[in-house]
Every structure is written in structure tokens, then in C-alpha cells.
Chain A
């Protein structure tokens, strides 16, 4: 149930009020219908009574007319009456005797009175009251006055001196002489009996208006009249049956009805008005119709009423019908109210659900639109507007496809009938997929679309569909990124597999030279020349391995973004020249001309000359390797120049074997050579061009190659450098000021005591041998802790002049040992002993770490004897100084 909020209560009250009003109207209509039918029915009763009354009165009029014609209006009667009028005292008795038998017959017919009057309106002979005569009647008997003054027949009801009656008055004439009149009178009993014969089943009463009794009746007969119980303004004539002609007394039922209707206002008012009417009554479960038919006297003055009592079960049927109809109507109205209330509830529920849905659709992040069977947009939600930028007026009532979906993924227009969404949901299917919508601004937006048709209760499509969509651009981008990353990872994986394979080959080859030559050296009795060749081969092979290792380190650093370019002075011309000099011997060996095409002048730039030299050497090395005749030309030129930035292009052109066009794209990729057979033939790791490209990119440049098979190739790279003013001193650069290594590093000896801290026995042997060859005194320690202890505990004369410190060692590593030594020196005011790192950790950060730990210099393994001597000479010299 819903909470009965004030508005709900008000609505319920309105409903109930409406129901009450409808019920009242219905009840009023039904009651009106009931009353109408009842009125019609009662009117029929009144009409029947009136008709029966008229028919009864008329029947007596006819009988009286026959009597008058056949019996009274005869010569002998007229003669006697005329004598009586003339004063003959015997005439009255004669008239009586003449008509006595006739009167007896009339009585048998129900005509109770036969009365002769004089022309002056005096009673002459009353057959029904023979002792009374001579009294004037004109004042109380208008019928006589009219009959005798207007000399015409008069029929009608009239009260009388004794009893009332229905009078039939005939004027009597003797020839032209008006003698008087004769009348017959019928009591209501006779009228009643006739009415009963006409319409059996009714009870009748006859009541006289009070004034028509009090003003007319003889005083001594007034006690015949008693007030009518129903209406005291009327009198009942002779209820005690003192007169033989009085009608039978009222039945108990009539008395009950009289008593019941005594309080009826309608009885009093309508009888006072002289209306003809019928009233319904219910007594002890029986229905009665009491009809009131007014009776007018001969002057048309209403003086009496014929009252009819008749059982009227039809009234009960009508009432029961009304009750049934009212009950049915009430039931129907209640049912209607209930249904309407349920409908209203359902509509409220629907409205609430619609509001909820509207709230949901308004707050949901997905765009939603409702489409009809023609594809017309019926509704959109705010997210639709937000995602696509259309206002409701832009799309409502229009074909949505034409506005925001009129294209395929490739941007081509698609007809509405082919719309993948519309064509599916129109058939009752569900659409799910990714589409591209066009925003109002024209942007194409990747959207994920779910569209469902609205089905009717028979699961048939109504044509209406609801479509939800969301912007999946980010997801698409993420997917693309992920795909690219996946591809990259897979490529890297493949490359590393290839790399491992390659490394295995590259390492095995020189390693084979080292191991093979070393085995040959172990053969006793070698010639000096053989021994030197073998040793040189070992040295070359070792050098090859070292180069390979350096290349790998370089590439690794580049890929890891850990390489740092030096910011020094670059002299392109110098770089060309030095590089050409570097390969001059090799070129000469292959009879290849090696030339440079340098820039005019000696312009200088700020940059990393070492890396440029490395890059150029790579290209030249390749050119020398793949060129068998002809020439190799090194060149450099400015291809862009501004005061702040210059783009320099270094290139190496050869007349070598060239590269097929379809293989060019594989160049500059790590571990990739044009053909694996090339590797076998020419050797090389394939890392050189990759390093060149990476470094060129770091220097905001590009790399490239032009080549024709059999014609030669031209490799180039460009770098962006900052031009320097011509007066900048080139000595400010970090040119290596150390003496260039000579090919006989062990020739000149050094003096001093060296503590070697090295955990590897072979290394200790190599270093110890080398240092001994140089002429130095060597002490050994196998780890950092031992090194520190030996230093501290050594006698003053045995204190080392310099310490060569490995880094990674058990017990105490080189860094910690160095820190302890420096701390000991500080604590004991001992002069600082140079400590030089000798480590296989060959990265720049390793060098920095060592220096930070308190070391003074850094040498990478494998040991370059020349560089070792140079470094030792440098630091021992400083010690000496």
C-alpha cells in the first residue's frame, strides 16, 4: 500500500464524493422512475374509479329517464300533481297511491328517493319521507332551483335535507304549464354497488364536505353524519346504518387505511384542492392504492369524494423493483468505483514507475532513446544530449538514424532501411554491438549499443524500441593501446628470443677463438711466432666479446631510457676525420678508398661528440664490412639552421653489395640484419643500426637509408644540435685529457703498493699478474671485511698506496668496505688512500654509486691493461705528488 499522503486522502475523498454524488443521482433517477411508474399506476386507479363512478351515475340517469318517460310523465300522474299544485288536499295521497308501487320497484333497483316539488321549490311529496313536505328547497337544493327556474333536466350529486344523493331532476309540465319537478335520487350505496359490479375487488367510501352537510341537512338527521377518520373536514353518512340505504360499514382494512392516512398532508391539501388522486399505502406488509375521486354537485362545486380502497400488490412489486435496481446500481457503482480506483492506482503506479524510469534514465550515464516503428525518435535522456550534443528538439519526431547514425564504421552513408539497429529491433530482435554515432558537432564517437524491442503481452513486437548506448572511445583507445602493447611485447619477446639465439652465436664464435687458441697455447714447444698469433687471436676474440657486450649495454640503456647525453662541444669535421682515421687501416686492407666530405670551416656545436662518433663509426663499420671495392665516403652537412638550433646530417655512402628494397624496412631494428646469411658471412650483432636510430631519436633526429642491390648504399642520420659561437674555447669540453692508450701498456713500470680486494680467484690472479708485470707490490684480500682489516692492521711500511676494490663481494661488499675505510681514515687522521672500483657493474649509475661511497675512480671489467695502467699511473702519481 501507499502512504496516505494528504493529496491521496483528498483524492480518495473526491472519489468517495463522486461515488456519493453518482449514487445519489442514480438513486434519484431510479426513484424518479419508480415514482413515475407508481404515479402512472396510481393515475390509472384514479382514472378507473372516476370512470366507474361516471358509468354508475350515468346508468342511473338512464334508468331514471326511462322511469320519467314511461311512468311519471303520464297524463294521469300530471293531472293529479296539477290538482295538488292547485290546492286539492286529496291529490297528494292520490299521487302517493298512484306511484307507491313504482316507488317500491325503484327501491328494488337502488333508487331510494322519489320526490315531487312545486315550481317554487317546496317539497310536495317525498316517497322516502312521506311525513315531511312543504319545506322550501331552492336554497339547499340547487338542482331543484335550476330545474324549476331554467326548466331543464338536472343530473348530479347533491346533499340533501336527510341524506345526500345523486339527483336526477326533471321539470314537470301540464301542457305548457310548469307544475314543478320530480326527482329521483340514488344513494351512494347504489352507486357503490354499481361501481363494484363494474370493477369488483374495490372497497368504496363516500365522504361529504363538512359545509355541504352542516348547511343542508335537517337538524334532527344531522346525527347521521360523523366526521371521517381520515379527514375531519369530511363527513361519513350514516356509518351506524340507521338508514336502510346506507352502504355497508367500512371494513377493518379500510379503517386501518383511514387511520394511517389521517396524518397524510397530501390527503388534506389535495382534498382541499379538489384533486383527483391516488395514494399508495402499505399496511402490515400489504400494498394498497387509495384513490380519491372528487364529486361535484350540480353547480360544479366540489362537495364530496368517492374514496376507493384496493389492494395493489403491483406497488410492492414496483418498490421491490426499485430496491433491486438500487441495490444493483449501488453494486454496479461500487464495482465501477472499485475498478476506477484500481485503474487510478494502476495509473498512479504507472506514473510513479514512469517517474522512476525517467529518474533512472535521466541519471543513468548511458544515452537512451526510444524509437517508434518508423524509426522516429520519441524520447531521449539527458545522457543522450550530453554524449551526442543534441537537444530534444533536434531529434524528437525525426528519424534518428538520419541524424546521428547515417554512416558505417568507415564513415560511408548507410540507408535507414539498412540500419543495423533499426532493422534488427523492427523485426523484434535484440541488437548488441559497437557502432559509431555522429555528434551534433560532427565528431564520430565509438559507442556500445544495446537495443531491445518493446513486446506486447503476446510477445509480438510493438514497433517501439529502447536503445541504450555509451561512449566507448576510451575503451577503444585502451584496447588499441593494449593491442599495440601486446604486439610490442610479442615482438620484443620474439626479438629477445632472436637475441638470445643471436647472442649464443655471437658469443660462441669469439669464445671459440679464445678457448681454441688457449688450448693451442698449452701445447708445449710452440714457436714464439705461433704463441704470439694465438695470444693475439685470443685478445681479438676477447675484444670482440667486449664490443658485443658494450653494444648490448648501450642498447639496453637506450631502451631503458637510462642513457644520458653529454653536453659538450661537437666538432663535426673532427668527428669525420677521427672516424675515417679509425677505419683507415681496415679500408686499406680491403683496398677501399675512405674519404670524408666535411663541412666548410670548423663550426662547432653543443652535443655529445662521443655518441656521434659511435653512431658514425657504426655506419662506417658496416660500410667497410659490406663493401668489397670502390669507396666509402663520410660526409656531414647542415640541413636546417637557425641561430638556436641546427639539424646536421651525417651520412656514409658506399659502393657495397646494396640492400634489396623489400628488406630496407627491417634495417634499424634490433638484432636484425637483411638476411641471416649475412650474419653468417659478415658477422655482426645487428645492433649497430638500432643503436644509431635510438641515439638519433634521442638527439631529435632521424635515420635513413637509400640502397640499390649491387650499386651500394647510403646510410644517414640527422641530429639537432645547438650551434656555438665561433669563440667558444674547445678546451672547455670534456675531452679526455688522458694519454691515448698505446699498444704496449706494460712497457713502462710503476712503483707502489696495491691492495687488491677481490673475491674471485681468477680475477685476483689476472690482476695480480698484471700489476706485478707493471712493477707494483700487490696485497690480496678476498672480501671487503678482510680488505679493511688488512689495511688497518698493516704495518706502516706495508700500508698500500692504492686500493683496487671489487664491489660485489661476500661478507662485506666494496661499497661498505670503502665507507669503513674512509671513516677509519677520518677517525685516525690517516691520509686518504685512493680507492679505485674494479667491477663488472658497468653502467654509469654503478660508477656514480661507487664514487658516492667514497671511491676515487672506476674501472670496468674485463680489465683493459692499458687503461688500468693509465688509471694507476694517474692516482699513484697524485699520491706521489
Chain B
């Protein structure tokens, strides 16, 4: 085989290419199933992801379809059930998935708007409140989503570093990072946990960053190792990391800034922030 490869002929090259392109499931005609973030309208998802998926399908030689889900839980269930090949997940959902489904394999991290494959989470509060985090309790804290990395996970982790935790305070999930920032800015909450970059957008409204996590891996494309071979995963990784800006400019807002290879170790900081295995899915007030 090696000998043959060293003396390639056109026919053999084509045959090899086909083998590589089709992977172990080369005989399958079924398109790859990709899960976007939940809670987004199909139209938005389609607009945001379709150019990338088209690119990927063309690179892989087989089409990629979108498999919608209402929440992270369903995405994880489908992943474990082998109904998904690829998923776009934040750090916490990945860590959670990885714990239950080791075949989940990070493929690439999509760079943030600042060009980095990492971001941080923060706790913000109104500067005029002159709030100190140490041993706080009983405060009203705004959170994004239960499975959002900058939600319960990072906020609880940062509070724990200051001698407190979320369970000592009153927290409420507001879903979106901007909503958390504005809720704090309006004075409706004493503090809020959110993505640092978003919190910084509203500093002019009197917010300040009380605490900030170390760099955390950005959103990543996670492959299902039970359905995709390592070669196939690598093929996808190569395709995405080598995509040129001319190609990526038509991709969605959060995925157009480039990608870097991802590794499970990138999530160690996340695992360190995590205090408890189960994150409450409901507000505590």
C-alpha cells in the first residue's frame, strides 16, 4: 500500500482520495448531522451556519444537515444516542457531555471577535454601589443560562474564590449576557455573571468588573467519535482551520473570525471552575 502510494498513479490517487473523503463510513450516503445552539430560530441558524456547512460539505464530499434542538439537554441526549455527528457547544456543555460521553471530541475553537480562541467570564456590578464580593450573601445576582459557561459555572466559581457561592445568594437566569449586564446597569440586580467582553460594553452605564475568570476555551465544534473517524475529524479540523477570510466572511457573526484546533485539555480551566457536578436549572428566588 505504501509502495503504491509512493508510486502514485492517477487512478490510485483518486481511489485514495475517495477513501479519505468518505472515511470509514464512506459507503453511507446519509449526510452528517450538525446541531447548532438551541433557542435560536431556524431562520437565524440557517443564515448563520449555512455558508460554513456548505463549505464543510464541499470539503468533505458529503452534505451536512442541521439537526435542531430546543435546549442543551436534548443536544447531549442526541449526541449520546449517536444521532449527531457534530455540535456547536460552549465549554460547560462540552465538559458535561465529555463526562458522560467520552467519545465527544473537540475539533476546533472559533475565535472571538478579538481574534482569540478564548474568552473570560466576569461578575459585574454598578460601580456606584461599591460592592465587594468577599463573603457576600443574600445579594440578587443575574445569570445567563444554567449551561452557559459564564453563567452559573463561572459565577459560582468566582464567588467561591471570594468565600461565597451562588447558593448563598439569590440568583435568577436572564438568559442573555446583554440582559444580565443591563439588568445590573438598571440596578435591578446587585451583580451579574456574564461574558467579560459583553460586560465591558456597558461600563459606560456605570458597570465595573468585580471578578474575572482565567481564559476559557471559546465555543467549539465537537465531533461524535462514535460516528466519525479520527481521520474524518482531522479532515474537518483542517478544513476549518485553513479556511481563508475570504471564505469565512460570509459565515455567522460568532464563527467568522477564524478557528484553531481544539483539544480536551483546553477545558481544564473550566473543570477547575466547576464546583459541583449538577448545575441548578432553576432560579432560587
Chain A nearest CB, measured from B105 CB (Å): 32
Q: Mark A231-254, 1 if CB is under 8 A from B, else 0.
A: 000000000111000000000000
Q: Are B41 and A241 in contact (CB under 8 A)?
A: yes
Q: Mark B195-210, 1 if CB is under 8 A from A, else 0.
A: 0000001101111000
Q: Are B178 and A90 in contact (CB under 8 A)?
A: no
Question: Is A97 interfacial (CB 8 A cutoff)?
Answer: yes
Q: Are B187 and A97 in contact (CB under 8 A)?
A: yes
Known interface pairs A90-B206, A131-B201; A240-B47 also in contact (CB < 8 Å): yes
Interface residues of B in 115-158 (CB under 8 A from A): 126-128
Residue of B nearest to A134 (CB): B204
Q: Are A96 and B186 in contact (CB under 8 A)?
A: yes
Q: Are A130 and B202 in contact (CB under 8 A)?
A: yes
Chain B nearest CB, measured from A405 CB (Å): 111
Known interface pairs A97-B185, A97-B187, A130-B182; A89-B204 also in contact (CB < 8 Å): yes
Question: Is A92 interfacial (CB 8 A cutoff)?
Answer: yes
Q: Are A97 and B186 in contact (CB under 8 A)?
A: yes
A241 / chain B contacts, CB cutoff of 8 Å: 41, 43
Chain B nearest CB, measured from A334 CB (Å): 59
Q: Are B205 and A130 in contact (CB under 8 A)?
A: yes
Known interface pairs A100-B186, A130-B182; A93-B204 also in contact (CB < 8 Å): yes
Question: Is A345 interfacial (CB 8 A cutoff)?
Answer: no
Complex CA–CA separation, A89 to B201 (angstroms): 14
Residue of A nearest to B41 (CB): A241
Complex CA–CA separation, A130 to B128 (angstroms): 19
Complex CA–CA separation, A409 to B126 (angstroms): 147
A89 / chain B contacts, CB cutoff of 8 Å: 204, 206
Question: Is A427 interfacial (CB 8 A cutoff)?
Answer: no
Q: Are A131 and B178 in contact (CB under 8 A)?
A: yes
Residue of B nearest to A127 (CB): B182
Q: Mark B77-117, 1 if CB is under 8 A from A, else 0.
A: 00000000000000000000000000000000000000000
Chain B nearest CB, measured from A225 CB (Å): 13
Q: Are B206 and A93 in contact (CB under 8 A)?
A: yes
Number of interface residues, chain A, beta carbon within 8 A: 16
The one of A90, A240, A242 that contacts B128, using a Cβ cutoff of 8 Å? A90
Chain A nearest CB, measured from B124 CB (Å): 12
Q: Mark A124-166, 1 if CB is under 8 A from B, else 0.
A: 0000001101000000000000000000000000000000000
A94 / chain B contacts, CB cutoff of 8 Å: 206
Q: Mark B177-188, 1 if CB is under 8 A from A, else 0.
A: 010001001110
Question: Is B9 interfacial (CB 8 A cutoff)?
Answer: no
Q: Mark A781-807, 1 if CB is under 8 A from B, else 0.
A: 000000000000000000000000000
Q: Are A92 and B206 in contact (CB under 8 A)?
A: yes
B43, B185, B186, B187, most chain A CB atoms within 10 A: B186
Residue of B nearest to A90 (CB): B206
Question: Is B2 interfacial (CB 8 A cutoff)?
Answer: no
Q: Are B204 and A242 in contact (CB under 8 A)?
A: no
Complex CA–CA separation, A131 to B182 (angstroms): 10
A90 / chain B contacts, CB cutoff of 8 Å: 127-128, 206
Question: Is B27 interfacial (CB 8 A cutoff)?
Answer: no
B253 / chain A contacts, CB cutoff of 8 Å: 220
Complex CA–CA separation, A90 to B130 (angstroms): 13
Question: Is B44 interfacial (CB 8 A cutoff)?
Answer: yes
Known interface pairs A90-B128, A240-B43, A241-B43; A133-B186 also in contact (CB < 8 Å): no
B41, B127, B206, B207, most chain A CB atoms within 10 A: B206
Known interface pairs A89-B204, A130-B205; A96-B185 also in contact (CB < 8 Å): yes
Q: Are A93 and B185 in contact (CB under 8 A)?
A: yes
Q: Are B178 and A93 in contact (CB under 8 A)?
A: no
Known interface pairs A240-B47, A242-B44; A92-B204 also in contact (CB < 8 Å): yes
Complex CA–CA separation, A90 to B178 (angstroms): 19
Residue of A nearest to B205 (CB): A93
Complex CA–CA separation, A223 to B50 (angstroms): 15
Residue of A nearest to B207 (CB): A93
Complex CA–CA separation, A421 to B271 (angstroms): 143
Complex CA–CA separation, A97 to B187 (angstroms): 7
B47 / chain A contacts, CB cutoff of 8 Å: 223, 240
Chain B nearest CB, measured from A582 CB (Å): 172
B41 / chain A contacts, CB cutoff of 8 Å: 241
Q: Are A133 and B44 in contact (CB under 8 A)?
A: no
Q: Are A130 and B185 in contact (CB under 8 A)?
A: yes
Q: Are B185 and A240 in contact (CB under 8 A)?
A: no
Complex CA–CA separation, A242 to B182 (angstroms): 20
Residue of A nearest to B182 (CB): A130
Residue of A nearest to B47 (CB): A240
B178 / chain A contacts, CB cutoff of 8 Å: 130-131
The one of B43, B44, B126, B201 that contacts A93, using a Cβ cutoff of 8 Å? B126
Residue of B nearest to A249 (CB): B43
Complex CA–CA separation, A140 to B32 (angstroms): 46
A130 / chain B contacts, CB cutoff of 8 Å: 178, 182, 185, 202, 205
Residue of B nearest to A239 (CB): B43
A133 / chain B contacts, CB cutoff of 8 Å: 204
Interface residues of B in 25-57 (CB under 8 A from A): 41, 43-44, 47
Interface residues of B in 200-254 (CB under 8 A from A): 201-202, 204-207, 253
Chain B nearest CB, measured from A224 CB (Å): 11
**Sorted from nearest, which 10 A-B pairs have the closest CB atoms?**
A93-B206, A131-B201, A93-B205, A100-B186, A240-B43, A96-B205, A97-B187, A97-B186, A92-B204, A90-B206
17 additional contacts, CB 8 Å, given A90-B206, A93-B126, A93-B205? A89-B206, A90-B128, A93-B185, A93-B204, A93-B206, A93-B207, A96-B185, A100-B182, A130-B178, A130-B202, A131-B178, A220-B253, A223-B47, A240-B43, A240-B44, A240-B47, A241-B43
**Would you give 5 A-B contacts (Cβ < 8 Å), ordered by A?**
A93-B205, A93-B207, A100-B186, A220-B253, A240-B44
- Please give the residue numbers on chain B whose beta carbons come within 8 Å of chain A beta carbons, in ascending order: 41, 43-44, 47, 126-128, 178, 182, 185-187, 201-202, 204-207, 253
